[in-house]
Amino acid sequence: MKALILNYPVRTLDGIELFAAGSELSEETIQEARKQHPPGKREYCYLLKHGSVFNDMLDLMAQPTYSAIYAGPTDRDTILALLKNCRVQPIVLASLDYFRRKDLYTYRHALMVFALSIMLARHLALPGLDLEQEIIAAGPTHDLGKTCIPLSILTKSTALTLSDRRYLEHHTAAGFALLAWYSGDMHAPAARIARDHHERFDGSGYPSGIHLRDVLVEIIAVCDIYDALVSLRPYRLTSFDNRTALEELTELADSNALRREIVQSLVALNRRSRPSAQACVVSLERRGTPPADNLYGVTVPEPDAPPPHKS
């Protein structure tokens, strides 16, 4: 994979600039940042004992859409039992506190993508891979880099400009940089997840346009899209209904952007019979209707851009 070049600076929540815009993220530059700005003691803390995380997880699992996924008699309790001993780095808890104060959507999204990814990994049950434990070890970190994105962009209720979108996409590289700096390991699962969760199976994603072949990250990517669709967003006051969200994911799998088996497994979790991913037959018929007010993917000219030339 080619080295990442930062288009924007990466700062800690304390405002310390670790990497300037234009920096190349490599083993050497990450270790240099650790020398200049030591991250301090890495005392791991229990996730569910932090603030209101446990109660928030309970509330979110009980909300529509997720209440169906966690409808089994032991589904919710099994996931919470797994998370009981989940310990994360202080940088993760600090990011959750920041989002809970400043951007409640991203806070909620981080927790639900985390919990759903564990559920999905358990259902896939791929031989030889302990994916659920890798996800638990990584923690709710996939969007940690959004601490480096201006809140005016994160919470924008109107269509993004092209420069807004470029800055928003910076969260993948920023999350990777922050987690690699903090842990000292640029190959750690949390750093990989933060960097690659917007990459796609067919190479159509970002930041590097790689052909994603990392099942751990692919699970996070599917859950990230699903939760974004079934949730309210600043730029969309109406969420996708569950059927339409699953149809959107199915279409992405059909176009080879997402691994089909992972999408099949998510569809299976939404069915009462809970078939295996391999046995789950997914219809390609489109019967859902996306929200009319959805501005995702819509870009508008910069405020100071000249009007289009008319011939």
**CB within 8 A of 204, min separation 6: which ones?**
257
Would you state the pLDDT for residue 305? 58
Q: How many Å apart are CA 291 and CA 180, to the nearest integer?
A: 38
The reported pLDDT for the residue numbered 129 is 83
- pLDDT for position 73: 81
CB contact at 8 A, 221 and 198: yes
What angle in degrees, to the nearest 10, is found between the helix axes of 242-254 and 215-230?
Answer: 140
Low-confidence ranges of the chain (pLDDT < 70): 1, 284, 288, 293-299, 305-311
**Residue 296, CB-side half-sphere exposure with 13 Å CA sphere:** 16
Q: What domains can be seen in the chain, in order of their start residue?
A: 43-300 (1.10.3210.10)
Tokens of 12: 């800690």
- Euclidean distance between CA atoms 227 and 60, whole angstroms: 11
Pair 136, 82: CB distance under 8 Å: yes
Q: What is the pLDDT of residue 308?
A: 54
Residue 295: the pLDDT is 62
Structure tokens at 181: 């700096």
Give how far Cα 289 sits from Cα of 159, 227, 263, Å.
Answer: 20, 17, 19
How many Å apart are CA 60 and CA 102, to the nearest integer? 18
- Tokens encoding 261: 């088996």
Mapped to the 3 state alphabet, what secondary structure does the chain carry?
CCCEECCCCEECCCCCEEECCCCEECHHHHHHHHHHCCCCCCCCEEHHHCCCHHHHHHHHHCCCCHHHHCCCCCHHHHHHHHHHCCEECHHHHHHHHHHHHHCHHHHHHHHHHHHHHHHHHHHHCCCCCCHHHHHHHHCCCCCHHHHHCCHHHHCCCCCEEHHHHHHHHHHHHHHHHHHHHHHCCCCCHHHHHHHHCCCECCCCCCCCCCECCCHHHHHHHHHHHHHHHHCCECCECCCCCHHHHHHHHHHHHHCCCCCHHHHHHHHHHCCCCCCCCCCCCCCCCCCCCCCCCCCCCCEECCCCCCCCCCC
Q: What is the pLDDT of residue 302?
A: 81
- pLDDT at residue 298, as a whole number: 65
Q: Which pLDDT value is given to residue 311?
A: 40
Q: Does residue 296 contact residue 235 with C-beta atoms inside 8 Å? A: yes
